[in-house]
Structure 1
Amino acid sequence: MFHDCFPQGCDASLLLSDKFWSELNMPQNNGIRRNAVYLIESIRVKVQDTCGPTVSCTDI
């Protein structure tokens, strides 16, 4: 994933959301800027809307 290394590690699970459990919400990840995560999510939604299943989350 492009720039998934901003939390000082390459852990794509930071971008997975879950209502009850999310690695992003763990105390050690408090320094991650939420607006950066929201930006990545908005890009993912736009690509998904435009390209459909031809582009995977791995490509984003």
Structure 2
Amino acid sequence: MHQREVRIHSTSQYERHCRALGYKPAEITLLVIGFHTGWEQGFATSQSELPTSQLGTADH
């Protein structure tokens, strides 16, 4: 649940930042979609860098 809260908070900050830069609502929607895609890719990358034992797979 903590990861979800961090993502929501970060998204809100990003939206405010985009609004302050003068982006329109439709543009902000597209920027947020890109932000979420980057977030998911970054999270997937960070998970793939963990040792195998931390990913829940056993080395046999």
Return the structure number with greater helix share. 2
Classify the TM-score, shorter chain. 0.3 to 0.5
Point out the structure with max Rg over C-alpha: 2
The structure, 1 or 2, with the larger RCO (C-alpha pairs under 8 Å, 6+ apart) is: 1
TM-score (norm 1): 0.41
